[in-house]
Amino acid sequence: MNNLKDLNPSSIWRYFNEICQVPRPSKHEGKITEYLENFAKSHQLEVRKDRVGNLVIRKPGTLGLEHGQIVVLQSHMDMVCEKNGGITHDFFKDPIVPLIENGWVRARNTTLGADCGIGMAATLAILADNSLAHPPIEALFTVDEETGLTGANALQPGMLEGKILLNLDSEDEGELFIGCAGGIDSVGAFKYRTEAVPPHFVAFKISVTGLLGGHSGDDIEKGRGNAIKILNRFLYQLDKSCEYGIGQFDGGHLRNAIPREANVIVVVPQDKKEHLAIEINHFRVEMENELMGKEPKFKLVLESTDLPDFILSKESQAKFVNLLYALPHGVYTMSARMPGLVETSTNLASVKFKDDSMIEIVTSQRSDQESGKQDIYQMVESVFLLAGVAVKHGEGYCGWTPNPSSATLDISRKCYEGLFGIKPVVRTIHAGLECGLFLEKFPDLDMISFGPTLKGVHSPDEKIEIASVEKFWKFLTVLLPKLAWAR
């Protein structure tokens, strides 16, 4: 069986399969918006779109619950678009190809988009099913969650009437989330000078591939390799034993994904070819030992390539390599209030040659403390400034402060325990959710976040556990009528 529509619950998998056919990169949600609008019209449901593209689809409550509390079901339209190296896939045109393997659904060589496609699918399944009991529903679909939280930032107060919001964008079944970290991006514009490739030099491409990557919030504490840091570490060490020049450096893609792959074009004197190969072999063994048990598919590859048009000047190269080495990456502090939870972290996300004079270096910082967020982005800023690099910070987004006395949480906890005989875990998450921004605009909202189990989010290893989807669906559909008279 490799057909999602054969899975249970059939309704949620049917809509998830349809969503996989619709391209939806961040900031390019036009096709998925059209799909959702057509869905609303075909089911005679009211739909409203705001100026940035957020959609709200409304459905009245069922008999006996029509005057209950309005419940907002919220998910985001966009997906992280990552693919394996060497794979041809156009995320603006090509559908995602889901595969069923050993109790999980994954995609063929790309991200699956279950973040947050499964939340969207569950919402559509509820909106389409007239046999389910539920209070009035406002289904909120936001744009550009993954790269800028644009939709949540721009949401206007008049778009929602509900006072209870269920965010369907979490990734651990059996856990109810009541808080999240805030975050900010810090981007450096490294201006460089170039020089000609010296005579009698040859060029090589050095690549780091096969890393797990993952979500820079959920996975940052797992000690996974950062392809940019690994590759730059080799360059830093190579400088001590061999003259070389950098013609190109490319690593990472998204601010909220740990870089899985990176490559650099280097030139070395012709008589140093064997030395470079020996250095690569030694470094590969070092990294395999360090990453043992964490990165089973790590690869470091050296291959001949064409000479670049230019290389960085010696001064620019030294500043560049030292800057990448000094920029922090990973966990900065762990929470004392919630043991086991990361409090503050930073992700060295991508390095791109933008033109013949500037390299863009993208980093992102997270913390569940505003002061902690400020501390870590100022640390990153100071490293850029020491290297003489201009740095700009994004607008950032606030965290979601937990409310342990939430009525929605209390009802949800009891509902879960009644259904499955175990207590759900109640916690906060280091990843960013849109809930903090919603709370700024709608201070009376009572919110929780939950979802089925996803692994490898923001990487081509992303997968969703089939059994957890069935539990997620059962919990959601039983919970909805219980929330009708909350508060």
Active site residues: 78, 145
The answer to whether the CB of 179 falls within 8 A of the CB of 402 is yes
In angstroms, what CA-CA distances link 418 with 9, 206, 414?
20, 55, 6
The answer to whether the CB of 359 falls within 8 A of the CB of 192 is yes
Q: Which of 208, 197, 212 is nearest to 231 (CA)?
A: 208
The answer to whether the CB of 188 falls within 8 A of the CB of 365 is no
CA separation for the pair 379, 381 (Å, rounded): 5
The answer to whether the CB of 80 falls within 8 A of the CB of 116 is no
The answer to whether the CB of 74 falls within 8 A of the CB of 151 is no
In angstroms, what CA-CA distances link 338 with 367, 375, 376?
13, 20, 19
Q: Which of 466, 465, 482, 354 is nearest to 411 (CA)?
A: 482
Angle CA 449–80–151, to nearest 5: 60
Q: Six-digit token pair at 183?
A: 């975050």
One-letter amino acid at 176 equals L
Q: What is the CA radius of gyration of the chain?
A: 24
The answer to whether the CB of 28 falls within 8 A of the CB of 92 is yes
Find out whether the peptide bond into 116 is cis, omega within 30 degrees of 0: yes
What ranges in 43-149 are assigned the alpha helix state H?
Answer: 114-128
Q: Chain centroid to CA 418: how far?
A: 33
The answer to whether the CB of 251 falls within 8 A of the CB of 350 is yes
Helix (H, G, I), strand (E, B) or coil at 336: coil
Beta bridge partners, 1, equal none
Q: Six-digit token pair at 145?
A: 């969650």
In angstroms, what CA-CA distances link 432 with 127, 216, 253, 254, 309?
27, 10, 18, 14, 41
Helix (H, G, I), strand (E, B) or coil at 111: coil
Strands 358-367 and 342-353: antiparallel
